[in-house]
Amino acid sequence: MTKRSSSVTIRDVARQTGVSVATVSRYINRNAPVSEEVAERLKQVMSELSYVPHAAARNLASRKNRVIGLLLSTLHNDFFVPLLNGVEAVVRQKEFNLIIATYHANSRTEMPSPIGPHNTDGLLVFSDGLIDEDLASLHSRNFPMVLVHRLPPPGLSITSITVENTQVTRNLIEHLIQVHGRRRIVFMRGPAHQEDSLLRETGYKAALQANGIPVDENLFLNGEFERDIAYNVMNEFLDRKEQIAFDAVFTGDDDAAIGVLRSLQEHNLRVPEDVAVIGFDDLGFAQFLNPPLTTVRAPTELVGKIATERLFELLENHPSDEVNVLPTEIIFRRSCGCQA
């Protein structure tokens, strides 16, 4: 007679299958491999006994929630779609759940982060999602986490996945200077604490210096990596009573490029004839803008995938403190003046 599922225990499954309780637990929690033969037998016996593992008991026994968290400062950007695709693919494969939360760490009050050790097994921290002090606190408690699009704070060995920003930006700015003769290039900054923006600015300044062009603070605008903000800031720049000469715009990222292109069009400035425009990320819409956008192709989905894989390695007791900087490449299209 088959026992009712409510009275069947993991020991009953182990006894009938002829394996240890630990082996059954490994199979249920997917935290260590079992042979295909044993897995098939366990599956059959669990079906025969109508055994359904109790999620709460399983989590309590393993001290795991089977949940990882992704902490962001904002979601107002198409950039996050491929990143989330990469994260979600791994989470689904591992049969975990994903919690996504936004948290303005640099302007916080007393409100704690909405996700962390209290409700997740590990954390993906995007860019400035947490300040260095919070990262140090979590690190001191050995809480598993991986940094995304930022390097670890000095002195902390935390796994980090990011992309190359500085050299590729320098190469792109030098392309505008040397190939298209642009010398008055607006640099549109991202959020103040965004490492990607700071590194791109370093590349921009290096390109100017290498080509004997002085840095002009009047050519720096704050686009915040958002199309609406970039649009408004570009309008204000173009509407100034004292016009500032410029012949190109590095928009900071592709999302901001949408706002910049619209503003230039409304002010009857032709791209690229009057003003060259370049972006960063090569999001799906970049090639369909008018004109098609010259930009930097960043492996955003791969960043999300690798970061999540590294986090699961930490959860499975395979620690890593490596910093992985993925390569980027320039994609030349018509907005800079190229015909390709």
Topology adopted by domain 67-163+300-326: Rossmann fold (3.40.50)
Q: How far apart are CA 50 and CA 195, in angstroms?
A: 52
- Identical topology for domains 67-163+300-326 and 166-298+330-336: yes
Question: In CATH, what class is 10-62?
Answer: mainly alpha
Q: Characterize 155-166 residue by residue with b for buried, 16 or more Cβ atoms within 10 angstroms of its Cβ, and e for exposed.
A: ebebbbbbbbbb
Least-confidence region, from 203-207, 241-245, 318-322:
318-322
236 class by beta-carbon count within 10 Å (0-12 exposed, 13-18 middle, 19+ buried): exposed
CA triplet 280, 282, 285: central angle to 5 degrees? 120
Q: Which residues are 97's β-sheet partners?
A: 67
Between 24 and 239, residue with greater pLDDT:
239
Q: Name the least confident of 45-49, 162-166, 177-181, 318-322.
A: 318-322
* Statement: residue 4 has pLDDT above 70: no
* Per-residue pLDDT tens over the stretch 59-77: 444 546 799 999 998 888 8
Q: Is the pLDDT of residue 169 over 80?
A: yes
Lowest mean pLDDT among 8-17, 51-60, 176-185, 319-328: 51-60
d(CA 137, CA 112): 13
Residue range 166-298+330-336 forms a domain whose CATH class is alpha beta
pTM, 2 dp: 0.80
- Domain residue spans in the chain? 10-62, 67-163+300-326, 166-298+330-336
Rounded CA-CA distance 212/206 in Å is 10
Q: At what angle do helices 36-48 and 10-17 cross, to 10 degrees?
A: 120
Rounded distance between C-alpha atoms, residue 251 and residue 189, angstroms: 8
- The pLDDT mean for the chain works out to 89
Q: Specify the pLDDT at position 60.
A: 41
